[in-house]
Amino acid sequence: METRIGKLQTCSVIKRHPQNPILTREHVPYHPALVFNAGVTKYQNQYVMVFRNDYGDPVKQTLAPSHTTNIGIAFSSDGIHWDVKPEPIFHLKDEEFIRAYDPRLTVIDGRVYMCFAVDTRHGLRGGIAVTDDFEHFEILSLTVPDNRNMVLFPEKIHGNYVRLERPFPVYSRGRDRFDMWMSESPDLKYWGNAQLVLGVEDVPYANDKIGPGAPPIKTKYGWLTTIHAVDIDQSRGKNGWEDTWKKRYTAGICLLDLNNPHKVLGLYKDPLIAPEADYELEGFRTNVIFPGGMILEDDGEVKIYYGASDTVECVATADVDDLVKLCLEQSVMK
C-alpha cells in the first residue's frame, strides 16, 4: 500500500473544542513542565482524567531526569473544565523501575483499571493496575520487555479480558516497525493468544509505527477504536525542544468486530486528527497527536481526548455515526 507522508489534514467530522488545550501545566499546582497523554473515563457520574507529568524548565526548554515523571489526576462534571488534585497519584521508582507514564483508563464491572507504561533498567514494560478510589492501586500484571501502549476493552469477550498493545520487535524488524496486536487473559494477570490486528503497512499515513490509542468504545456495528500512527520524514530538522525531531504523530480510527476484535471491519483511509492547531505544532515535540481517551455520550457525541505536542491535553468531538461511517464507507480494508 502506498504511504503518504506529505501534507495531512484532519477529517471534517472532527471539531476541536474552542477551549483547547483543556489541561496545561498552568492548571497543575505542583508545577510540571509538560502535561499530556491522558487517559479519561466516566466513573460514578463524573469524568476522571489521569495524565502524565514531566518535570523541567519550560523557559529554558529543558527536562529533568526521566525518573521525575509521574501521573496526576483531575475530575470534571462536563469533561472540559477540570479540578486537578494537589498531588500526583501514581509513580514507580526503585532500583529497577525508572518511571511510569502514559496512563489509560477503562471501567469494567464497576472497577477502574489503569494501563500504563513503565521504563525499567531492563526494558519497556506495560502494566495493569486496578483502583476503587484513585488513591490505592493494586498492580495486577507487568509485561516482559518490550511492550506498551496497552488498552483494555470495557467488557469480557468470550469469557476473557482483551487488550490491544504495541510490542517492540526491533531485533527481528531491524528498525522501528511496530504494529498493533491483541491478546487475551482469563484474569488480567496471565496473557496469551496474541494476534496481529493491524500492521504498519495497512495504514497509508504511517511509515514507521502504529499502535492503540484510547480504549475502544462499543457500538452496534463494532468496537470503535482510535490508533496512533507515526511517519518519519528525514527532511524535518530541529522542531521543539530537542535537537532534531523527524516524526509526526496522527490519530486514526478503525472498527473492530464485536465478537472477534482481531478482525478489522474497516479502517478510515486518512487520519482522523492531524496536527494543525498551534498547540499541536508547537511545544516539546512538534506535530504530535496522541489519543488516550474516548467517551461515547448518550446523545451520540464522542469525546476524543488527546495529547498535543507532548506538552498539553486537548479534546475533540464527533458524532458516533459519522465515525462508524468513515470506517465502513471510506475504508482502506475493502
User: What pLDDT digit, counting tens, does each position of 211-269 carry?
Assistant: 999 999 999 999 999 999 999 998 887 779 998 999 999 999 999 999 999 999 999 99
Amino acid in the structure at residue 321: D
| pLDDT, one tens digit for every residue, the chain (334 residues) | 555 667 899 999 999 999 999 999 999 999 999 999 999 999 999 999 999 999 999 999 999 987 789 999 999 999 999 999 999 999 887 889 999 999 999 999 999 999 999 999 999 999 999 999 999 999 999 999 999 999 999 999 999 999 999 999 887 777 789 999 999 999 999 999 999 999 999 999 999 999 999 999 999 999 999 999 999 998 887 779 998 999 999 999 999 999 999 999 999 999 999 999 999 999 999 999 999 999 999 999 999 999 999 999 999 999 999 999 999 999 998 6
289 near 283, Cβ under 8 Å? no
Nearest to 248 by CA among 211, 206, 201: 206
46 near 295, Cβ under 8 Å? no
User: What pLDDT digit, counting tens, does each position of 86-124 carry?
Assistant: 999 998 878 899 999 999 999 999 999 999 999 999 999
262 near 195, Cβ under 8 Å? yes
| Buried b / exposed e along 183-221 (16+ C-beta atoms within 10 A) | bbbeebeebeeeeebbebebbbbbbbbbbbbbbbbebeb
C-alpha span between 206 and 228 (Å, rounded) = 9
Nearest to 39 by CA among 318, 316, 246, 304: 304
